[in-house]
Every structure is written in C-alpha cells, then in structure tokens.
Chains A and B, each alone.
Chain A
Amino acid sequence: MTDQIATDEEIEKKVLEIVAEQTMVGKSEITLASTPEELGIDSLGLVEIVFAIEEAFNVSVPYNANDPSTSDFDLSTVKAVVDAVKRLIEEQKQTT
C-alpha cells in the first residue's frame, strides 16, 4: 500500500481495519460515523491508531495527545480520519 497510490476505497477499507484491530470491536459494528467514545477508544488507543495509520500509509500524522482538539488531524469520527488520511497522502504526493 505504501509503494503505490491508494484509492479512496482502499484508504477507507484500511482505516476501518485498523480501527477494528485496535478496538477489537467487530468490523460490522464500525461505521464511518462511529466516534472514539462509541468504540471505547481511550487516549492511549488513539495514539496507537495514529501509529498504525502512519505505518500503513507511510505518512506522518500531526497529532498531539496533549490537546487533540487543536491537532491538525481530525479524529472525531472514522470518516474524519479517512478524510484526514486522504489529505495527508495528497499532501505528501505534492511534496515528493
């Protein structure tokens, strides 16, 4: 995935996979509208998801656990994460 340009669909699928693995909530119960609170993800869990995203997409996520609301990376819903990953991949394409 890191060596080729991921399609939007692939990004969404991979993000859902990562969230499912980190939360151990069944994939069928996770939707794009799910929030970390609904999925029982605590602050350490978010940090773990950020790490898994960085590894999967070879991007650097601007996330600061001290004050997530001011981070330039929206983790409020699964959809927000998918969009943020798309944007990061796009930005990275332009800089390389």
Chain B
Amino acid sequence: MIDAEGLSIKIGAEAKEFDGEARFSRSQLTLWDRVTQMAIAAGEEAVQSAGLELGDEESLRAGAVVGTSMGGMHTLDENYDLIYRQGKSRIHPFTVPKLMPNAPASHLSMAFGARGPSWAVTTACASSNHAMGQAFQMVRSGALDVAITGGCESQLTFGVLKAWEGLRGMARDACRPFSKNRTGMVQGEGAAIIIFEKLERAIARGAPIWAEVVGFGASSDANDIVQPNQDGASRAMRAALQDAGLGAGEIGYINAHGTATAANDRTECAAIRHVFGEHADGLMVSSTKSMHGHCIGAAGALEMVATLGALRDGVIPPTINYDEPDPDCDLDVVPNEAREVEIEAALSNSFAFGGLNAVVAMRKWRGA
C-alpha cells in the first residue's frame, strides 16, 4: 500500500488486510485516523471476547489506558502534504482531533462507555507495556475495576519511514532477532487491546480468563537517547519479578523486546543472563517481532497477546527468520518453530528509545 519509491526501506510489516474503509462508517472515518481504526477494531474483539458489559455505575470505574508512540501519523503526513507540497490554504477541521495521540484512548472510552480515568501513554517502543503496567496498577489499587488497555500504532507513512531511515537501523531483508546475520528492525503497524479486570469481578461474572497479570517493573537507563543499556533492562525485569512475588526460577518464557538490532539483542541477552543466572539456560526467550514487525507503541500489547497464548495454551511462539547462532545471544530463542510446553509464568519485555524500560509479569490461570 505504501509506495516504496524514494525510500531505502524496502520491507515493512503492513497490516494489508486491515481495511478501515470497509469496516467503519463515513462519519467514523472522518474522525478516526488509521491508528484509531485499528484500536477500535481490536477493542471490539476484546470486549466481545471478554463478554464485557458495563452498567451505569460500573462504567464510572472503567477506563481506557492505551499506549501509542506517535498518534495519527497518516493524518499528519497527508495534511502536511496538502499544505506544504500542494499549497492548499486550508485543511480539514478534524485534523487535530484525528492526529492527537490520545484519540485512540478517547474513542475507546466513547465506544465502550468507559467513564472512569482514561489516558494515553507514550514511551516509544515501550508505550504499551507502560500503559498496561499503569492499567494493572489502577486495577490492583482499586482505582479501576476494568481497564481497556493495550496499544496501537500505524506509522507506515512516507514521512515517518523517512525519519526511521535516518537512524540507519532498518533491516535489509527480514527481521532476524538473535540471529548472527540480523540487520535491524522491520517497522510494523497494528493494535492489541486487552481487558484487565479485577479478579473477583471476572470470576463472579464467569469471564474467560486468559492469564493473571501479577507484576509490573519499570526503570530508566538515564544514559543514552537511543542506545540500550543492560543495567536499565536488568532492573526493570527484577522489579517486575519482585512486584509479582515470583522467583526467577518460576519464569518459563520471556517474550523479548528482540528488535533484531545488533545492540538490543546483545544487551537484552546479557541482561537476562544477569537477572536469571543459571536459570537463563532453563527458560525460553523469543521475539515475535520476527513475525509481526516492530509495531512500536503497539509492540508490548501484541506481545502480551502472544504471551497470553503461551500461558493459556502452552504454545511458545518462535523467533522466525533465525539463521545463524550468535555467541552474544546464546539463549534458547525458540528458533523458527513454535513449541508446545506448559509454563507457569512469563515476562514480556519492552525497552524503549529514550532508555525507558517496562516489563510485565504474568502467571498461568488455573481456575479459582
């Protein structure tokens, strides 16, 4: 869909079959950038699958906490083109409400009648994990009974891809996390929305429970605006384990940040060794970015969905495109094929540009 003419990036993980025009009404499309369209589509699936219905009182204790890195970039790109290149003197009146990064959170709150606290969270590649971490804390503290949470990103526009090109971290052919021949990231787009609900409420209404969110850990590197940092990553994982009351030995799977840049994968593996010690060789680590690309602000949410599948169904998602072992990434990275293994608990890592790290801990749900 995106014209690659004039771009050096030749590969992107577009959600090609996602057709907002076919799915939504004209009045919705007038107000919703593609990023909001994706968030609403994911939200509809989540609410339906959770069987969530909010009564009048309940709606006051429900909120939407949604990660996104950039907001409505299609709207920004198209309208900059109109005024700068095409010399138009006026643009559509809904340009601001369409492109603001909180639009997805706001429209989710409207679509599902969540009248409690709602907001957008933006921490680049960790936006979703920070959002879900905050949603988790809100539910755990009793400030919310239900959180519509996760993340969304739709940033495959000419202007944004030009900006990514400038960083020179993009893959030539494919996203190959942990593989020695990796050449960088593949940019993607998407959304995942998950319903976080107070356990007693979920049990009482017979909701389908995928897993239990048990901990959240976050840290700042306070070091470099783009380079990852082993210490920051380690501290975030430790904090998540501690918050969850989980021992390192209880973790069976880590959904890695695993961007397939030289620096991230090496640093992340070193951090995992540092935190898990000998058990680092007894757990599985995979990067699903090899399959869905790096969806930036939506990454952590998509990866939580993969992790929920691992916990509920005992299917560990693989790291595909894995060709060649790298001595700096010598963990069990579940190369190329999914594996059926029952696990008790898992972590999902996100380490953002800007040195902002966020890790979510989950535990298998075995019934009340």
Residues of A within 8 A of B (CB): 24, 44, 47-48, 50-51, 54-55, 60
Whether B85 sits at the interface, judged by CB under 8 Å, is no
B89 to chain A, nearest CB (A): 8
A48 touches B90 (CB 8 A): no
Residue of B30, B92, B93, B94 contacting most chain A CB atoms (<10 Å):
B93
A68 to B26, CA, bound (A): 26
B112 to chain A, nearest CB (A): 21
Contact bitstring B26-39, A, C-beta under 8 A = 1, else 0? 11001000000000
A51 touches B30 (CB 8 A): no
Q: Which residues of A contact B26 (CB under 8 A)?
A: 24
Identify which of A24, A44, A50, A54 contacts B94 (C-beta below 8 A): A44
Q: Which residues of B contact A50 (CB under 8 A)?
A: 93
A24 to chain B, nearest CB (A): 7
B94 to chain A, nearest CB (A): 7
Taking residues whose C-beta sits less than 8 angstroms from the other chain, chain B's interface range is under 10
Identify which of A24, A51, A60 contacts B92 (C-beta below 8 A): A51
B24 to chain A, nearest CB (A): 14
Residues of B within 8 A of A (CB): 26-27, 30, 90, 92-94
A2 to B124, CA, bound (A): 44
Identify which of A24, A51, A60 contacts B93 (C-beta below 8 A): A51
Q: Which residues of B contact A47 (CB under 8 A)?
A: 93
B90 touches A55 (CB 8 A): yes
Closest to A48 in B: B93
Q: Which residues of A contact B93 (CB under 8 A)?
A: 44, 47-48, 50-51
Closest to B30 in A: A48
Q: Which residues of B contact A60 (CB under 8 A)?
A: 90
B27 touches A54 (CB 8 A): no
Q: What are 15 A-B pairs at a CB distance below 8 A?
A: A24-B26, A24-B27, A44-B93, A44-B94, A47-B93, A48-B30, A48-B93, A48-B94, A50-B93, A51-B90, A51-B92, A51-B93, A54-B90, A55-B90, A60-B90
A81 to B94, CA, bound (A): 21
A64 to chain B, nearest CB (A): 12
Q: Which residues of A contact B90 (CB under 8 A)?
A: 51, 54-55, 60
A54 to B349, CA, bound (A): 50
Q: Which residues of B contact A55 (CB under 8 A)?
A: 90
Q: Which residues of A contact B94 (CB under 8 A)?
A: 44, 48
Closest to A54 in B: B90
A11 to chain B, nearest CB (A): 19
A60 to B88, CA, bound (A): 13
Closest to A58 in B: B89
Closest to B31 in A: A44
A24 to B27, CA, bound (A): 9
A94 to chain B, nearest CB (A): 20
Known: A44-B93, A51-B93. 13 other contacts (CB 8 A): A24-B26, A24-B27, A44-B94, A47-B93, A48-B30, A48-B93, A48-B94, A50-B93, A51-B90, A51-B92, A54-B90, A55-B90, A60-B90
A20 to B106, CA, bound (A): 28
A54 to B92, CA, bound (A): 10
A55 to B82, CA, bound (A): 13
Closest to A51 in B: B93
Closest to B91 in A: A51
A48 to B91, CA, bound (A): 11
Q: Which residues of B contact A24 (CB under 8 A)?
A: 26-27
Closest to A50 in B: B93
A50 to B30, CA, bound (A): 15
A60 to B90, CA, bound (A): 9
A44 to B95, CA, bound (A): 12
Closest to B27 in A: A24
Closest to B88 in A: A55
A73 to B160, CA, bound (A): 39
Q: Which residues of A contact B30 (CB under 8 A)?
A: 48
Closest to A21 in B: B26
Q: Which residues of B contact A48 (CB under 8 A)?
A: 30, 93-94
A44 to B31, CA, bound (A): 10
Closest to A61 in B: B90
A48 to B90, CA, bound (A): 12
